[in-house]
């Protein structure tokens, strides 16, 4: 098994998959190999079906089931070069609306963050609609402070995009880049290395709790709030799509359900 997993990792690296995706694929492929061997199912299609059904029985999310299916498909087609098609459809995903914080709640979370570095990171997450991984990966060269633009390099899906910077943060950004080289990370740990996404997520949860907001929000909720508030301000959904880096407009359109002005204008009959 170790040999086949090593071969799989080499193929994933050659295809330039992200470290996060490589880790997930290797985990699910290893799980599948152990499961199919233990179940002693010779038919490939049947083995995959039982593997995914087992995940359903253990109440794993549709997103997890779909990621596992993608991993197994990659294993057969790209590593084993098996031409036989895997005739399985993806699990139906839950249609949950994103958790969105109001402008006042965003302000409360930012003000509840005592550490200036993390306060700026949380502010940028909301102000630019960034993922947590994008915030910690920012480099000095990515910022055009005078033009109020941030360049996201090699973001999710290996795509570059630009987003807006708020004028309100110009001075804070100039202060943090002072004395740094263009290739330096914008935010560094106390030891001088790149900050982890875990540390930023942990700080966000701490600030959220301190602010007294009772919503199941995560750092990603800042990105949801960015999109929702832009739409509320009248920004065209296609511009919001570009700022978020969504490949499909339907992904962006979920926010139009959160901020539907026609529904909000309806008064309850009570």
Residues with catalytic roles? 131, 156, 220, 223, 246, 255
Question: Tokens 């990603």 sit at which residue?
Answer: 220
Q: Are 134 and 152 in contact (CB under 8 A)?
A: yes
Q: Are 224 and 99 in contact (CB under 8 A)?
A: yes
Taking only Cα atoms into account, the Rg of the chain, rounded to an integer number of angstroms, comes to 22
Residue 84's Cβ-side half-sphere holds a number of Cα atoms within 13 Å equal to 8
Q: How many CB atoms lie within 10 A of CB 25?
A: 24
Give the H/E segment covering residue 54.
helix 44-57
Question: In Å, what is the CA distance from 167 to each residue of 138, 144, 172, 177, 236?
Answer: 18, 11, 10, 16, 21
């Amino acid at each position: 098994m170790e040999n086949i997993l090593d071969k799989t990792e080499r193929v994933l690296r050659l295809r330039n998959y992200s470290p996060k995706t490589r880790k997930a694929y290797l985990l699910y492929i290893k799980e599948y190999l152990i499961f199919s061997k233990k179940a002693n199912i010779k038919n490939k299609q049947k083995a995959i079906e039982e593997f995914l059904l087992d995940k359903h029985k253990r109440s794993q999310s549709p997103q997890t089931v779909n990621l596992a299916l993608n991993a197994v498909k990659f294993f057969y087609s790209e590593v084993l070069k098996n031409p036989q098609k895997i005739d399985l459809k993806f699990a139906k995903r839950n249609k949950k609306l994103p958790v969105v914080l109001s402008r006042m709640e965003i302000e409360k979370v930012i003000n509840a963050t005592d550490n200036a570095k993390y306060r700026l990171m949380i502010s940028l997450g909301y102000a630019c609609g960034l993922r947590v991984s994008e915030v910690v990966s920012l480099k000095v060269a990515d910022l055009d402070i005078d033009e109020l633009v941030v360049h996201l390099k090699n973001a999710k899906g290996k795509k570059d995009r630009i987003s807006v910077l708020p004028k309100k943060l110009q001075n804070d950004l100039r202060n943090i880049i002072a004395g740094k080289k263009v290739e330096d990370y914008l935010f560094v740990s106390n030891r001088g290395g790149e900050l982890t996404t875990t540390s930023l997520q942990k700080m966000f949860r701490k600030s959220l709790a301190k602010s007294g907001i009772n919503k199941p929000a995560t750092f990603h909720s800042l990105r949801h709030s960015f999109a929702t508030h832009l739409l509320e301000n009248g920004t065209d959904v296609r511009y919001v799509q570009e700022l978020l880096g969504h490949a499909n407009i339907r992904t962006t359109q979920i926010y139009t359900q959160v901020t539907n002005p026609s529904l909000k204008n309806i008064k309850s009959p009570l």
